Amino acid sequence: MVSKVSSRMPRIMRNPHFWIVLALFVAGTIFHYAEQIGFLTYEESSTHFGLTRHAVDRVLFLIPITYAGFIFGITGGLISLAVALTIMLPRVVFVSPSWEDALLETLGVILVGGLVNMWFEGYQRERKRRQQTLIKLEEAQQELQSHVQAVENSEKRLAALNAVSDIISQSLELQAVLELAASKVMEVMDVEVCLIFLLDEQAQELVLELYRGVSEEFSAEIKKMRIGEGFNGRVAQSGEPMVVEDASYDPRLSREVVKQEGIRAQLIVPVVAKGKVVGTLCMATRRSKQFATEEVELLSVIGSEIGIAIENARLYQNEQLIAEQLRISEKKYRELFESAHDAIVVQDLKGDVIMTNRAFASLTGYAQEELIGMNVTSFLPEAGLKLARETKRKLLQGEVTNEPFEQYLIKKDGTEAILKLTTSPIVSDGRIAGFQHIARDITEEKRMEENLRFYLRQVTRAQEEERKRIARELHDDTAQGLVALSRRLDDLVSTSEHLSPRDIEFLEELREQTNRILEGVRRFSQDLRPSILDDLGLLPALEWLTSDLSQHFGIALATAVVGPERRFSPEAELLLFRIAQEALRNVWRHSGATRAWVTAEFGEGKATLTIVDNGKGFELPKRLGDLATDGKLGLAGMQERAQLLGGSFSLQSEPGKGTVVTVEVPI
């Protein structure tokens, strides 16, 4: 303890306040013992303000005591009290003629000095407590901002996944799909480089199909890459994602041109279709970057979606190629007939088979010789027979048929296949002598289409579940924490007698900012998943939505119900609500409308939801299927949701004439 005190003494002695206190004590001592040291001569009976001179001297000792307590805290104050007591006691005991009064005065000075020092100590502690409270409030605000940023990032990733899904479901042009997907993923993942390689199975090579953010020289150097070579080759070989922290120092690097291009951090995932790797997707930066787990998962899902798009595009290209081949001149008809990929069968008016090609024989499982003379009713189930008779009737009467149409066929082994069928009459001498059918087996495609719809439905469900979870966390955690923080700020402001005006103003600003953030969090939570939809259903949710938008954006919105109200399944009500929500968002974001109307009409076997506005309108694409490629992803999402409900989606708009969105779904 002595060593600690001795080590602190030189530091204290360098403090100028120490010498001021010491000087005050020395001056007080001289005046207190002035007669004894011969410095001054006063009569003991002389008074000042009703006090004896020595009583005044004792009171003056409060000056160094108070000064020491203020500067050095409670420790300095107690030491100064001890010093003052040491100075005054000898006069009390040995000099003062009335030692009882002198002792009482001395103790009074010591008591007052002690109280003053205790008050200083309490003041300093309260000041520190307020500072710590303000620091905690600032930390809480930073944590809240970080949480809100995390929520926004999560929503951004969900939006990117939804946008890529919409692009894939709407377009069959491979290059367009790859370009739009690359742009969206680069934006959400904050990278400068995107590379997409497709697998050439015959050559067992990866071929660079698309690149962004690199030079032409670099792309030429990595145009082709063997399976197992470099980062992308290893991913194509293993089928597992790979994270490269710094490519320039990674021993797996196979091309020096990567160093020259300055590429460092990379995230590479396989592009998968039908359980097989068909390419790789690489996102890279020229700076240090740590890819988070959710980024790896997001890019892996997008890689799978791109794989589905590649498969669909290839199927589409094959279909187009077959259709082109069928338009070959009549001169090569026989050769084409026999070698055509599609199944072709010719029947007479009775339904007996006259001629088939190898594809039809392979499709049915019969030999070509067996098929000649068989009646087509042998291949058709009851529902297929009904459709075939109706098609025959229309063709004989010269009516237009909807072609190609779907037909069911029973194979030799008893299994059923789904065909895309085109039927045309064979005319001889101006009369219909028979019919020619061109069929393509779309059983696998229908399954893939159903799988794609199921996948999109699962993605939509996952998005809604994530919205619901985020909304619940915002309401239960973030909002409640903000309410508690706001109340604590209220309490702190209400007990502000020890706060400076500047501190009070700062706390008031913090409280107002907290309340604004709380309002935004609540609105964001309601927008993500309005509880009224789950509790009361679609129509009350639509009324709440129109009221909320009208209140916040000044657009006059009206809701109407035509016909007896009916409830849908929770999933159907959620999809219809999202369609209306997206349509009304377009109204206040893009249309410049002053009025809008939402009408729900319940009819016989169907329900119709219509959203109309008086805004500026826009030029419609030639086909609704081009909405995604034209960048109108919100409208494309509405169409996709209507299709998931088994309904139809229509859009009417002209520049200057507003917009009408109509969704019709079966009940």
Q: Which of 585, 494, 466, 505 is nearest to 159 (CA)?
A: 466
Residue 4 pLDDT exceeds 50: no
Strands 431-441, 242-244: pairing is: unpaired
Model pLDDT for residues 293-304, shown as the tens digit of each residue: 888 888 888 888
Beta bridge partners of 417: 409
* pLDDT: which is higher, 529 or 181: 181
pLDDT at 298: 81
Which 3 state secondary structure label does DSSP give 54?
A: helix
Q: Which long-range contacts (CB under 8 A, 24 or more apart) does 460-464 make?
A: 460/575, 460/641, 460/644, 461/571, 463/158, 463/161, 463/162, 464/529, 464/574
Residue 546 pLDDT exceeds 80: yes
175-313 has which CATH code?
3.30.450.40
Domain locations in the chain? 11-129, 175-313, 334-441, 530-667
Do 451 and 490 touch, CB atoms closer than 8 A? no
* pLDDT: which is higher, 614 or 9: 614
Q: Which of 80, 82, 86, 34 is nearest to 56 (CA)?
A: 34
Return the H-helix or E-strand segment holding 224.
Answer: strand 224-226
As a whole number of angstroms, the distance between CA 547 and CA 26 comes to: 80
Mark 233-242 as b/e (b = at least 16 C-beta within 10 Å): bbbbeeeebb
Residue 289 pLDDT exceeds 80: yes
According to the CATH classification, is domain 530-667 in 3.30.565.10? yes
Model pLDDT for residues 62-110, shown as the tens digit of each residue: 888 888 877 787 887 788 888 888 888 887 777 777 777 778 878 878 8
Residue 193 pLDDT exceeds 80: yes
As a whole number of angstroms, the distance between CA 616 and CA 584 comes to: 14
Which 3 state secondary structure label does DSSP give 232?
A: helix
pLDDT at 610: 92
Which 3 state secondary structure label does DSSP give 405?
A: strand
pLDDT at 629: 61
Strands 595-602, 606-613: pairing is: antiparallel
Do the domains 175-313 and 334-441 sit in the same CATH topology, yes or no? yes
As a whole number of angstroms, the distance between CA 587 and CA 545 comes to: 13
User: What mean pLDDT, rounded, does the chain reach?
Assistant: 78
334-441 has which CATH code?
3.30.450.20
Assign 6 a pLDDT band (cuts: 50, 70, 90).
very low
Q: Which residue type is seen at 515?
A: N
Assign 280 a pLDDT band (cuts: 50, 70, 90).
very high
The pTM score is 0.36
Whole-Å CA distances, 241 to 36, 305, 388: 95, 15, 51
Q: Which residue type is seen at 237?
A: Q
**Matching residue, tokens 């239960």:** 476
pLDDT at 8: 52
Sheet holding 343-348, edge to edge: 353-356, 343-348, 431-441, 416-428, 405-410
* pLDDT: which is higher, 332 or 663: 663
Assign 437 a pLDDT band (cuts: 50, 70, 90).
confident
Q: Which DSSP letter does residue 115 get?
A: H
pLDDT at 337: 66
- Percent of the chain clearing pLDDT 70 (strictly above): 79
**What is the arithmetic mean of pLDDT over 262-291?**
88
Which of 86-95, 191-200, 534-543, 627-636 is predicted with the least confidence, judged by mean pLDDT?
A: 627-636
Model pLDDT for residues 222-263, shown as the tens digit of each residue: 888 899 888 888 898 898 999 988 887 888 888 888 888 888
Which 3 state secondary structure label does DSSP give 216?
A: helix
Residue 485 pLDDT exceeds 80: no
Which 3 state secondary structure label does DSSP give 541?
A: helix
pLDDT at 44: 46
pLDDT at 46: 45
Strands 242-244, 353-356: pairing is: unpaired
- Percent of the chain clearing pLDDT 90 (strictly above): 2
Do 624 and 649 touch, CB atoms closer than 8 A? yes
As a whole number of angstroms, the distance between CA 385 and CA 381 comes to: 6
Q: Which of 56, 58, 66, 84 is nearest to 17 (CA)?
A: 66
Residue 542 pLDDT exceeds 80: yes
Which of 51-55, 393-397, 455-459, 537-541 is predicted with the least confidence, judged by mean pLDDT?
A: 455-459
As a whole number of angstroms, the distance between CA 564 and CA 601 comes to: 8
Its sign, for the CA torsion 580, 584, 589, 591, is: positive
Q: Which DSSP letter does residue 375 get?
A: B
Residue 160 pLDDT exceeds 70: no
